[in-house]
Amino acid sequence: MSFTYEDIINRKVSGTYSYDERAAILYALGIGFGSTPLHHDDLSFVYEKHLRTVPTMAGLFSVPSNLLAGVDFRMVVHAGQWLTLHQELPPKGNLFIESRVVEALDKGKEIGAIIFVETKTTLKDSGSPLSTAVSSIIARGDGGFGAPDQRPPYTHHALPSRDADRCLEIKTRPDQSIIYRLSGDLNPLHCDPEFAKMVGFTNPIMHGMCTYGICCRAIIEHLCLFDPAKIRQFDGRFSAPAYPGETLILDLWIDHEIISYRCRLKERDVTIIDNGKCVLST
């Protein structure tokens, strides 16, 4: 640990970020769009003609920075994601981005630090708000830095107590994480078998943000008639990793514009995304 509470809580960074149709298509391929290329609605996410952009791609928007300098990234786990869409993501964009550390919780040396980072994105030319994303990470090697006793600034959604209204089965591809990593997260944990074994996994694991995107894809397909503009909010808590090729079971609770969701594995009795919440436009 090489930061103090006073140091990290005041960190801010801003800059520009651009993406094009190729990046939007690559992201869509990484979460499984394009598997039925003769289906017009599926094709609209992977073909530049009338291209639609997946909302959860906004979780990737960032600028190079030292916002989390001092954090031991070998011990970092992505714990949760909250995403608000202020408008539909365009198929390409020039963006202005502002990121800041919202809070840092000290859970002690055995558990580590929980750090919340907020990223606000606007369209560069107009200044129109595009998205607000909050990520929480558990920095397992950075506890004990002396933060005051604080409550989490964001909490996770409580799932309904009744049985799920719908359950969707989604088979992932063996090369899912190899495709997804090309959208920006090049951590060898997701493609290098030797590295994965070195850090305690039997094989490379899928990105949490990949399974998060797959859940969004399924809701777009089955509840939004392939219209991504219907999604205004998409949150989730990452509770365990999945391996590429495993089968996801997506449990959905439908309460008007509020969709609660949980993602678990068919092959193993493991929940990989819990406390999910999707808000649709009315």
Tens digit of pLDDT for each residue in 60-103?
999 988 899 888 887 888 999 999 999 999 999 999 999 999 99
Give the whole-angstrom CA distance, residue 197 versus residue 206: 14
Spell out the domains of the chain, with CATH numbers in brackets: 1-147 (3.10.129.10), 156-282 (3.10.129.10)
pLDDT of residue 282: 83
Q: What is the pLDDT of residues 249-270, one digit of tens each?
A: 999 999 999 999 999 999 998 9
C-alpha to C-alpha distance for 153 and 166, rounded to whole angstroms = 31
Write down the pLDDT at residue 75. Answer: 80
* From 57-61, 174-178, 199-203, the region with the lowest mean pLDDT: 199-203
pLDDT in tens, 137-158: 998 888 888 888 778 889 999 9
Tell me the mean pLDDT in the region 276-281: 98
pLDDT at 1: 54
206: its two tokens? 């899928």
Instruction: Express as a percent the part of the chain with pLDDT over 90.
Output: 79
- Mean pLDDT (the chain) is 94
- 235: exposed, middle or buried (C-beta count within 10 Å: 0-12, 13-18, 19+)? buried
What separation in angstroms does the CA of 95 have from each of 53, 106, 132, 167?
Answer: 15, 33, 12, 37
pTM reported for the whole predicted model: 0.94
